[in-house]
Amino acid sequence: MNYVDGFVTPVPKRKVEAYRRFARKGAKVFRQHGALEYRECIADDLPPAKGVSFPRSVKLKPGEIVFFSWIVYKSRAHRDRVMAKAMKDPAFAHVDPKTLPFDWKRTVYGGFKIVVESKSRGRTS
């Protein structure tokens, strides 16, 4: 089974386009270094939760929106190799956390082993 890095990120609405540009660069770098898949999704339906919601998990502030993102790898070892290469890539060499279009300190992230996987076979209902 594959391995996934997952992220929940608060982004100021006024910086969504800047975040998309940053994410496109990230997608290109991670894919060039071997990631199988890279996805960035903007919140569209975040109903209030009785537990910990996505907005609550990142301490969402007024004027911000949540992005849910993931990167897929062959395995954790593969992730570690891809991540090491991506972090050394010149595209990220001059990234200053202070100038990012989001608050990295409030991003929730982690690596996950896939335990159940179901893929579409191209059929629709």
* 124 part of a folded domain: no
Q: Residue ranges of the chain with pLDDT lower than 70?
A: 123-125
Question: Cα 110 from chain centroid?
Answer: 10
* 96 part of a folded domain: yes
By residue range, what is the domain housing residue 93? 3-113
Q: pTM of the full predicted structure?
A: 0.89
Burial profile 73-103: b = 16 or more Cβ within 10 angstroms, e = fewer:
beeeebbeebbeebeeeeeeeeeeeeebbbb
CA 73, CA 82: separation in Å to the nearest integer?
A: 8
CA 91, CA 94: separation in Å to the nearest integer?
A: 7
* 26 part of a folded domain: yes
pLDDT at residue number 89: 94
Strands 37-42 and 64-73, sheet pairing: antiparallel
Q: Return the number of other C-beta atoms located less than 10 Å from residue 49's C-beta.
A: 11
* 64 part of a folded domain: yes
Q: Helix H segments across 16-121?
A: 16-32, 54-57, 76-88, 90-93
Tally of domains in the chain: 1
Three-class SS state of 4: strand
* 24 part of a folded domain: yes
Burial of residue 5 (number of CB atoms within 10 Å: 0-12, 13-18, 19+): buried
pLDDT at residue number 125: 56
The CATH number of residue 27's host domain is 3.30.70.100
